[in-house]
Amino acid sequence: MTWLRAAAAGALVVVALLLQVSVFPHIAWEGVVPNLALLVVVGAALTRGPQFAMTLGFAAGVLLDLAPPADHTAGRWALALLLVGYVAGRVRQDLRPGAGSVVATVAASSFLGTSVFALSGLVLGDLDVGPAIGSGGLLQVVAIAVVWDVLLTPFVLPLVMRVLERLEPATATV
């Protein structure tokens, strides 16, 4: 069952990556596309808790870091999604499941993930914030990313959570 769950989560991440790289650019807003991999990680955190979500976030991040169009320093998305998995998983424990709390978690996670990614780029010298981008440009990208992720939440999160929940009911021994 654990293997099945891991395989299902992996498949979700790969589908998310393909949609994000090949499909959504056609309707991108200022070049920003919804971060579906992040939504999968949040879904995993809300159903399975921080440990599973952190591992999945790390794996998904490594995939985002290494799969073709990526050219940034590897490990940055891994770091961002790992932290997202941790935070979203911890939040779950103090939260009543409901649509409002799910949307709030997604918004916070999206903000956290994109910001951590951008900040790690600044620290590593990957991302050169010239006068053209500026901190305003950075914040704009982060804001658009949050809006996208929240918009896609009703379509993606229920599906992800149902898949991961069905594969192992919450009452089963872990």
Partner 1 sequence: MALLERPPRLPRAASEVRPTGGRERRWRTLRGVRRPDGRYSPDPRGTRSLLIALLMACATLITLDHQAGGAALDPARRVIGEVVGPAESAADAVVGPLTRIPGWFRTQDDLRDQVAGLEAENAGLRSELATADFDRNRLAELDGLTAAAEQANHALVPARVIGVGPAQSFSRTVTIDAGSRAGIEPDMTVVNGDGLVGRVLRVTSTTATVLLVIDGDSVVGGRVGSSLEAGFLRGRGVVGDDGRLDLELIDDTVVPARDDVIVTWGSEDGAPYVSGVPVGLVTQVFSNVRETTKRAVIDPFVDFSSLDLVGVVVPSGTESDRAVVEADGSLR
Q: How many C-beta atoms lie closer than 10 Å to residue 26's C-beta?
A: 7
Stretch that binds partner 1, among 5-13, 100-108, 115-123, 155-163 (CB under 8 A): 115-123
- Helix 36-48 to helix 99-124 angle (10° resolution) is 120
- Asked if residue 170 binds partner 1 (CB under 8 A), the reply is yes
Rounded least distance, CB 100 to partner 1, Å: 19
Q: How many C-beta atoms lie closer than 10 Å to residue 74's C-beta?
A: 13
* Size of the residue set binding partner 1 (CB under 8 A): 65
- Asked if residue 12 binds partner 1 (CB under 8 A), the reply is no
Give the whole-angstrom CA distance, residue 36 versus residue 54: 16
Give the whole-angstrom CA distance, residue 63 versus residue 130: 28
Stretch that binds partner 1, among 1-9, 52-60, 99-107, 155-163 (CB under 8 A): 52-60
Q: Are 40 and 9 in contact (CB under 8 A)?
A: yes
Give the whole-angstrom CA distance, residue 109 versus residue 82: 11
Q: Which residues bind partner 1 (CB under 8 A)?
A: 14, 17-23, 25-26, 28, 30-33, 35, 49-51, 54-55, 58, 61-63, 65-79, 82, 86, 89-90, 93, 114, 117-118, 120-121, 124, 126-128, 130, 132-133, 137, 141-142, 144-145, 170-171, 174
